[in-house]
Structure 1
Amino acid sequence: MGKTALALHAAHLVADRYPGGAVLLPMSGPDGAPRPAADAAAALRALLRCRDGGAPCLVILDDVVHPDQVRDLLDATGPGAVIVTSRLGLAALVATHGPAVVQLGALSPRESDALLTAVLGRERVAAEAAAARTLAELCGHVPLALRIVAARLLTRPRTRLADYAEWLRRDLPARLALPDDPRMSVPLALDGALRRLPAPLADAHLRLARLHGRITAPATAGALAIPETEAEELLERLLDHGLLEDDQPGTLRMNELFRAHALRRTARTGDEVPRAVTATARRALPSGAT
Structure 2
Amino acid sequence: MLVVPVPPVPAFTGRRAETAALSGRLTGREGHDAATVVVSGAPGMGKTALARHAAHLAGDGFPGGRYLLRMVRPEGVPLTAGEVTAEVTAALGPPHARGRVLLVLDDVLDADQVLPLLHTRPDVSALVTSRRGLAGLIAAHGGWVQRLGPLAEDESYELLTAALGGERVAGEPDAARALADACCHHPLALRIVTARLLTRPALRLADCAEWLAEDPLARLSLPGSPHMSLRQVLDGALGRLDGGAARAFLRIGAHTSGDVHAAEGAALLGLPLPDTEDLLERLADAGLLEEGPPGPYRMHDLLRLYARGHDSPSVRPPQKV
TM-score (ref. length: structure 2):
0.79
Q: Is the 8 A contact 1:116 1:150 kept in 2?
A: yes
Q: Does 1:131 find its partner at 2:175? A: yes
Q: 1:121 aligns with which of 152, 165, 185?
A: 165
Query: Aligned letter for 1:85?
Result: T
Quote how far apart the aligned CAs of 1:69 are: 1.7
Question: 2 CA distance for matches of 1:206 and 1:273?
Answer: 11
Distance (Å, rounded) in 2 between the aligned partners of 1:218 and 1:32: 36
Q: Which residue of 2 aligns with 1:260?
A: 305
**Mapping of residues 37-52 of structure 1, within 5 Å:** 37-49=81-93
Q: Is the 8 A contact 2:51 2:127 kept in 1?
A: yes
Equivalent position to 2:251, from 198, 207, 217: 207
Question: How far apart are residue 50 of structure 1 and its match?
Answer: 9.1
Bigger CA drift: 50-59 or 173-182?
50-59
Partner of 1:250: 295
Is 1:95 the counterpart of 2:139? The answer is: yes
CA deviation vs aligned residue, 1:12-34 (integer Å, no higher than 9, x gap) = 22223222222222223346554
Distance (whole Å) between structure 2 residues aligned to residue 37 and residue 64 of structure 1 = 11
* 1:190 CA displacement: 0.5
CA distance in 1, matches of 2:172, 2:294: 37
Aligned length: 276
Q: CA deviation at 1:252?
A: 1.6
Paired position in structure 1 for 2:105: 61
C-alpha separation in 2, matches of 1:128 and 1:220: 42
Q: What amino acid does structure 2 have at the position aligned with 1:146?
A: L
Give 1:171 shift: 2.1
Secondary structure, counterpart of 2:288 in structure 1? coil
Quote the offset at 1:155 in angstroms.
Answer: 2.2
Residue 273 of structure 1 and its aligned partner are, at CA, apart by: 4.2
Shift of 1:249: 4.8
Q: Distance in 2 between matches of 1:238 and 1:30?
A: 24
Instruction: Please give the alpha-carbon distance, in whole angstroms, between the structure 2 residues aligned to 1:96 and 1:18.
Output: 24
Q: 1:113, 1:132 within 8 Å by CA — same for their partners in 2?
A: yes
| Alignment counterpart, residue 237 of structure 1, candidates 245, 260, 282 | 282
List runs of 5+ in structure 1 lacking aligned partners: 283-290
1:79 aligned partner: 123
CA offsets per residue over residues 143-189 of structure 1, 9 Å max, x none?
A: 01001111111222221212111111222211101114222111110
- Give the counterpart letter for 2:258 in structure 1: G
Partner of 1:225: 270
**CA distance in 1 between partners of 2:120 and 2:104 (Å):** 13
> What is the CA–CA distance in structure 1 between the aligned matches of 2:160 and 2:169, rounded to whole Å?
7
Amino acid at match of 2:309: R
Amino acid at match of 1:278: P
Superimposed CA distance per residue, residues 228-252 of structure 1 (whole angstroms, 9 cap, x where no aligned partner): 2222221111111111122895212
Which shows bigger deviation, 243-252 or 177-186?
A: 243-252
Give the partner amino acid of 1:252: Y
Distance 2:52 2:116 in 1: 22
* Residue identity in the other structure for 2:265: T
**Equivalent residue, structure 2, for 1:285:** none
Is the Cα contact below 8 Å between 1:28 and 1:35 reproduced in 2?
Answer: yes
1:118, distance to aligned residue in structure 2 (A): 1.3
Aligned to 2:38: none
RMSD (CA atoms)? 2.2
Calculate the TM-score normalised by the size of structure 1: 0.87
- Stretch moving more, 244-253 or 77-86: 244-253
3-state SS of 1:65 partner = coil
**Counterparts of 2:187 and 2:204, CA distance in 1:** 21
Partners of 1:41 and 1:159 lie apart in 2 by 49
Alpha-carbon separation, structure 1, partners of 2:66 and 2:270: 49
Structure 2 CA distance for aligned equivalents of residues 196 and 261 of structure 1: 16
For 2:213, which of 169, 179, 190 is the aligned residue?
169
Q: Could you tell me how far apart the structure 1 residues matched to 2:287 and 2:160 are?
A: 24
Against the structure 1 CA distance between its residues 53 and 237, is the aligned structure 2 distance closer, same or farther, given a 3 Å change threshold? closer
Q: Deviations over 1:53-90 (max 9, x none)?
A: 42222112221111122122113334232111111001
Q: Which runs of 4+ in 1 moved over 4 A?
A: 30-33, 50-53
Aligned AA (1:147): R
Please give the alpha-carbon distance, in whole angstroms, between the structure 1 residues aligned to 2:130 and 2:159.
Answer: 24
Which residue of structure 2 lines up, in the alignment, with residue 178 of structure 1?
222
Identity of aligned residues (%): 50
CA shift at 1:224, angstroms?
0.9
Greater relative contact order (Cα < 8 A, sep 6+): 2
Contact 1:177/1:185 (<8 A) preserved: yes
Cα distance in 2, alignment partners of residues 49 and 247 from structure 1: 43
